[in-house]
Amino acid sequence: MRIATTNPATGEVLKSYEPMSTEQLDAAIERADLAFRDLHRTTVAQRGGGWAPPPTCSTPSATTPPG
């Protein structure tokens, strides 16, 4: 099925997208795997950002959401 935005109120096709290539898909899975290795080492508090209690671990991480 075509990847596209079609406005149901008018039937007009507004925007279409080309599907990712196999190479792009493989690279995306690789990034998800690499990101997992980083993310699972962060604390729950770091992942929760400003709504959770402050991080107990002081290790700086690129995955820390802003407070």
Footprint of other proteins on 18-57 (CB under 8 A) = 18-20, 22, 25, 28-36, 38-40, 42, 44-45, 47-53
Q: Closest distance between other proteins and the C-beta of residue 59, in Å?
A: 14
The residue count for binding other proteins (CB under 8 A) is 46
The verdict on 59 binding other proteins (CB under 8 A) reads: no
Would you give the DSSP letter of residue 52? S
The Cα–Cα gap between 53 and 5 comes to 40
SS3 content of the chain, % helix, strand, coil (to 5): 40, 15, 45
The verdict on 5 binding other proteins (CB under 8 A) reads: yes
The verdict on 60 binding other proteins (CB under 8 A) reads: no
Provide the token pair at 18: 């080309």
